[in-house]
Amino acid sequence: MSARPEDSVIRTPDAPEAIGPYSQGRKGPLTGRWVVSSGQIGLDPATGKLVEGGVAAETERALTNLRAVLKEGSATLSDVVKTTVYLADMGEFKAMNEVYARFFPDPKPARTTIAARGLPLDARVEIEVWAFLP
């Protein structure tokens, strides 16, 4: 099997290092005009620890991390067309949604929200995005 082009891997110090065998995101020859992120949780890249303050604080940090991954891939939150949100507790949907709404301009991306048990590091929320480069 041939190696994947190195320019398709997104790495930025402004988002947490991957905590497993995956990339922060991908773009380039293999994804065409798409920038695809891995799921981001509310990890502070400076400390490697989950931020405190519950689902709202974790959502804000996760989206800040995603913004950094997208920037490294030459995209912005305005380029996002699809998100997937994983919540440890659907009872926290409203708090997550209030923070989420502040990050995305109109028109908002399509979204799926899924209840997920056992997110990495006991996070309350994890978010992934697909952005299309114009």
Residue 2 has pLDDT above 60, yes or no: no
Q: Are 52 and 124 in contact, with CB atoms under 8 Å apart?
A: no
Residue 70, C-beta contacts closer than 8 angstroms, at least 6 positions apart: 25, 35, 37, 76, 77, 79, 80, 129, 131
Nearest to 68 by CA among 53, 52, 46, 84: 46
- Cα–Cα distances (Å) from 129 to 6, 16, 47, 85, in that order, read 21, 16, 23, 9
| Contact by Cβ (8 Å): 132, 105 | no
CA dihedral 62, 92, 114, 47 (to 10 degrees): 20
pLDDT in tens, 59-103: 999 999 999 999 999 999 999 999 999 999 999 999 999 999 999
pLDDT of 97:
97
Q: Which helix (H) or strand (E) holds 71?
A: helix 54-72
- For 11-66, what is each residue's pLDDT tens digit? 999 999 888 888 899 888 777 889 999 999 999 999 999 999 999 999 999 999 99
User: How many Cβ atoms sit within 10 Å of the Cβ of residue 23?
Assistant: 15
Domains assigned to the chain: 22-132 (3.30.1330.40)
